[in-house]
Amino acid sequence: MEQAVMFSLDTILIDRQGTMMHVVINKAYMEKLKPIIDEEDRPMENNKILNFLPTTTLKKIKNIEDIPKHSFKFINTDMLSERVNVNMYLSNVIGVAAHIGHIEEIRTNFGLTKIRDTVLLIE
């Protein structure tokens, strides 16, 4: 199988407040940034975009514990309907949560574990 050629890398930055921003890193700059980029990204809703250039300077920060590693938004079904055939934002639908039960502790072969009964409508 032929290996894909990358022209740029699209990624997302998340700050301490959970604000997400779309970032584009050009091919010429990707190798320099590769060691510090954690690629767990998807396009998201934000009217701003950062464009990393070869002149961009980055500084690695040390205290990142209070910056969320992941982020997502729940949207209502009306907004989801508006996004049908619109590829501007990623809308990943698993289903509609019909029931979310309380957390219960049960005994298994491996010891005590916590479970939650959840019902998703997927059709």
**Cut 0.85: pTM above it:** no
Domain residue ranges of the chain, discontinuous segments joined by +:
8-52, 77-121
| 39-81 pLDDT, tens digit each | 544 456 666 667 777 788 888 888 888 888 777 777 777 777 7
What is the rounded distance in angstroms from the CA atom of residue 111 to the CA atom of residue 109?
6
* Percent with pLDDT over 90 in the chain: 3
CB atoms within 10 A of CB 11: 20
Over residues 78-101, the mean pLDDT reads: 71
- pLDDT band, residue 105 (cuts 50/70/90): very high
Specify which residues 24 forms β-bridges with: 10, 51
- Give the residue ranges of DSSP H helices in the chain: 27-33, 77-82
